[in-house]
């Protein structure tokens, strides 16, 4: 698998200069003060390095043409529920208000109503605009509140007006794409139990002349939601669920939608994601979309929303802010002192194994673990001499595998002799960085819904080797953020956020013994490649989550220039293993990894956009384009 070499590129200074204004300079100083010089420089690089596929031309090629929209307008759905779009409006600039309402009038799906709670009763211009639209189209409805009750209560007043089977949330200065409601109703046809639906989004300038920062989301991801309100816009919930959870709560003003989304998704029979950019979040100087540091109270409210969610779900955990405001860390405490069985296959490599074991024993805070070394066809006297020394340690158990090399069979053999409730599969070339790594993994793995936990693995040159796996990447599966400098956080900070994924590498993976047994262990037909991906997919099929935990960081001393699969026998075996994955996991390979967005590349490891047909010529014209 070739490595992605694009992550260390330099800042594109033309884009920085284009963005310069008194406001952005002031904003830059605020961020410098918040992050400090070193972190600020890292984030400046991330923000302004050239995009592999610039979003501007991509978006132009992406939006549906008039022919597609016209076809949608005439489409008859078997199930056509009314969607009430709730808008709390307060001192909305007239131009923004009109554009927001126009974005509803242009919807290709017609069974909607717009419910606007106007909290600016003295604003005559707003009153005129609202009355004019309501007179033109009975689907546009508004009520005048006596006073501004705050965003939560204003939204609840809009909810009170709603008659639809589903309720959607729209900010007073934002826009829906013309096909937004159509796409939501379209996905409901196949998901009759969907009680909550959300879409992708992007940001748009005040003048609507530039779309930027697309947020291309995964399907429902509990751990990512506990790390950040990634669902955000556009969110639609079944009316019965909204009534059940009781609407917005004013004590969470600033993060009222985050709290609301948690409560709706907790009660929903199914949460469905539409992987299309259907919501445009307008940024201007007063907007949190553009100026996160301006609303610290909102981030505190977000933290409390997560804490309230953990309490409702009876999940012990401590929530803290990360350096990136609006992104959070949940730490799950270890319950009791269960035994962890660390399984390390080894062939020769005396020094490598010694370094691994020393770092494991000296630098691991959690103490209740056993080490199972599965000796696999070593030949050197040196290693057998070392095994004799290790045999004196009661914490270490030596097993001997006498058959030919088979990674899956060797680990299954080790697991069969393990005494622990938790299995920790570990390569012999792993070195501990953070002493609390095992506590961190165990706290997450003990949660009833979690089957396995993977970690952030770093090469000795401080670049990332593994930050979770995406199925379909590079053909069958691949690691994310390979070769990116380890201090960077990546696309929407994903390299540094606790989140659910379809798979993680078994170079360092903790798994419940119970989940391992239910999945039937490693598949022995996969002797070398993809066995960890296959095991993770089997564990997910058994109903568990696979979690990527970036707070457990370890060095993987593996060389970046490992030998190629070059002998005929190796190539044949590799092809057989690819064929196995294609046969057994056709569904996910065909439909896409649910924890990765279909609009993202399967050949780049850094969440780059997947180029669209018809944009090639545009790309050439805008090579090194200036879209943020």
At 464-506, the pLDDT tens digits run 999 999 999 999 999 999 999 999 999 999 999 999 999 999 9
What is the spatial distance between Cα 144 and Cα 148, in angstroms, rounded to a whole number? 10
Mean pLDDT of 603-609: 93
Separation in Å, CA 326 to CA 234, 290, 430, 493, 602 = 18, 13, 33, 11, 28
Query: Has residue 620 been placed in a domain?
Result: no
What is the spatial distance between Cα 48 and Cα 511, in angstroms, rounded to a whole number? 39
CB neighbour list of residue 168: distance below 8 Å, 6 or more residues apart:
83, 84, 85, 86, 181, 184, 234, 235, 236
* Residues 221-241 pLDDT 10s: 999 999 999 999 999 999 999
Q: CATH code at 131?
A: 3.90.550.10
Q: Is 40 exposed, middle or buried (0-12, 13-18, 19+ CB in 10 A)?
A: middle
In a shared domain, residues 261 and 378: no
In a shared domain, residues 231 and 84: yes
Query: Has residue 27 been placed in a domain?
Result: no
pTM of the full structure: 0.89
What is the spatial distance between Cα 302 and Cα 295, in angstroms, rounded to a whole number? 11
What is the spatial distance between Cα 592 and Cα 602, in angstroms, rounded to a whole number? 10
Structure tokens at 456: 């952030």
What is the spatial distance between Cα 85 and Cα 522, in angstroms, rounded to a whole number? 48
Of 295, 326, 349, the position where a domain reaches its end is 295
Query: Has residue 581 been placed in a domain?
Result: yes
In a shared domain, residues 255 and 162: yes
* Residues 414-453 pLDDT 10s: 999 999 999 999 999 999 999 999 999 999 999 999 999 9
Count of CB atoms situated within 10 Å of the CB of 420 = 19
Per-residue HEC secondary structure of 273-328 comes to: EEEEEEEEEEECCCCCCCCHHHCHHHHHHHHHHHHHHHHHCCCCCEEEECCCCCEE
Query: Has residue 143 been placed in a domain?
Result: yes
Structure tokens at 427: 């390569």
What is the spatial distance between Cα 456 and Cα 398, in angstroms, rounded to a whole number? 28
Whether the pLDDT of residue 287 is over 60: the answer is no
Query: Has residue 335 been placed in a domain?
Result: no
Query: Has residue 609 been placed in a domain?
Result: no
For residue 614, the model assigns a pLDDT of 73
Query: Has residue 20 been placed in a domain?
Result: no
In a shared domain, residues 253 and 349: no
Is residue 203 within 8 Å of residue 283, measured between CB atoms? yes
Mean pLDDT of 304-321: 98
What is the spatial distance between Cα 573 and Cα 525, in angstroms, rounded to a whole number? 10
Query: DSSP of 146-202, one letter per residue?
Result: SS---HHHHHHHHHHH--SSEEEE--TT-EE-TTHHHHHHHHHTT-TTEEEEEEEEE
Mean pLDDT of 512-531: 97
Does the bond joining 440 to the residue before it have cis omega, within 30 degrees of 0?
A: no
pLDDT grade for 619, boundaries at 50, 70 and 90: very low
**Number of structural domains the chain divides into:** 2
pLDDT grade for 615, boundaries at 50, 70 and 90: confident
* Residues 349-366 pLDDT 10s: 999 999 999 999 999 999
Whether the pLDDT of residue 322 is over 80: the answer is yes
> Cα 286 to chain center, whole Å?
27
Of 238, 261, 295, the position where a domain reaches its end is 295
In a shared domain, residues 364 and 484: yes
What is the spatial distance between Cα 435 and Cα 441, in angstroms, rounded to a whole number? 12
Domain that holds residue 94: 79-295
Separation in Å, CA 165 to CA 80, 169, 183, 187, 354 = 10, 14, 16, 15, 63
């Amino acid at each position: 698998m070739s490595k992605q070499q694009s992550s260390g590129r330099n800042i594109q200074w033309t884009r920085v200069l284009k963005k310069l204004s008194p406001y952005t300079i002031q904003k830059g100083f605020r961020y410098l003060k918040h992050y400090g010089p070193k972190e600020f420089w890292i984030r400046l690089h991330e923000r302004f390095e050239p995009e592999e596929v610039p979003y501007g031309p991509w978006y132009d090629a992406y939006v549906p043409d008039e022919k597609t929209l016209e076809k949608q307008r005439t489409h008859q759905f078997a199930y056509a529920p009314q969607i009430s779009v709730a808008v709390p409006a307060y001192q909305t600039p007239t131009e923004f208000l009109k554009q927001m309402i126009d974005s509803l009038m242009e919807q290709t799906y017609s069974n909607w109503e717009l419910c606007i709670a106007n909290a600016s009763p003295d604003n005559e211009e707003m009153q005129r605009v609202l009355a004019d639209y309501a007179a033109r189209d009975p689907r546009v409805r508004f009520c005048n509140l006596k006073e501004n009750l705050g965003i939560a209560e204003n939204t609840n007043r809009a909810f009170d007006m709603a008659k639809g089977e589903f309720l959607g949330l729209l900010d007073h200065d934002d826009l829906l794409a013309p096909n937004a409601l159509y796409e939501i109703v379209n996905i409901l046809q196949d998901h009759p139990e969907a009680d909550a639906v959300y879409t992708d989004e992007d940001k748009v300038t005040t003048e609507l002349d530039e779309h930027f920062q697309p947020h291309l989301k995964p399907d429902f991801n509990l751990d990512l939601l506990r790390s950040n309100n990634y669902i955000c816009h556009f969110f639609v919930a079944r009316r019965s669920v909204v009534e059940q959870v009781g609407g917005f709560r004013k004590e969470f003003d600033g993060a009222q939608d985050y709290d609301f989304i948690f409560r709706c998704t907790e009660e929903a029979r199914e949460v469905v994601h539409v992987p299309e950019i259907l919501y445009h979040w307008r940024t201007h100087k007063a907007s949190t979309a553009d100026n996160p540091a301006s609303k610290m109270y909102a981030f505190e409210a977000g933290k409390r929303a997560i804490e309230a969610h953990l309490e409702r779900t009876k999940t012990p955990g401590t929530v803290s802010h990360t350096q990136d405001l609006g992104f959070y860390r949940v730490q799950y405490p270890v319950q009791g002192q269960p035994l962890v069985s660390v399984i390390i296959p080894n062939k020769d490599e005396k020094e490598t194994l010694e370094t691994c074991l020393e770092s494991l024993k000296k630098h691991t805070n959690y103490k209740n673990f056993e080490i199972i070394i599965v000796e696999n066809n070593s030949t050197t006297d040196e290693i057998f001499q070392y095994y004799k020394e290790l045999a004196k340690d009661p914490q270490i158990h030596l097993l001997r595998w006498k058959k030919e090399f088979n990674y899956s069979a060797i680990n299954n053999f080790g697991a069969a002799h393990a005494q622990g409730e938790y299995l920790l599969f570990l390569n012999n070339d792993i070195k501990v960085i953070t002493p609390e790594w095992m506590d961190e993994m165990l706290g997450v793995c003990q949660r009833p819904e979690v089957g396995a936990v993977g970690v952030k693995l770093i090469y000795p040159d401080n670049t990332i080797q593994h930050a979770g796996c995406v199925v379909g990447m590079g053909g069958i599966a691949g690691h994310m953020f390979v070769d990116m400098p380890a201090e960077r956080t990546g696309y929407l900070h994903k390299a540094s956020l606790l989140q659910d994924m379809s798979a993680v590498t078994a170079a360092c993976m903790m798994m419940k013994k119970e989940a391992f047994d239910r999945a039937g262990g490693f598949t022995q037909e996969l002797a070398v490649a993809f066995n960890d991906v296959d095991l993770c997919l089997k564990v997910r099929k058994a109903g568990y989550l696979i979690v990527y935990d970036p707070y457990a960081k370890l060095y993987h001393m593996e060389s970046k220039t490992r030998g190629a699969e070059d002998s005929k026998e190796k190539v044949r075996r590799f092809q057989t293993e690819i064929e196995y994955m294609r046969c057994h996991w056709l569904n996910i390979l065909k439909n896409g990894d649910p924890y990765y967005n279909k609009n993202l590349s399967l050949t780049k490891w850094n969440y780059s956009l997947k180029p669209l047909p018809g944009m090639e010529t545009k790309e050439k014209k805008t090579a090194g384009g200036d879209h943020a």
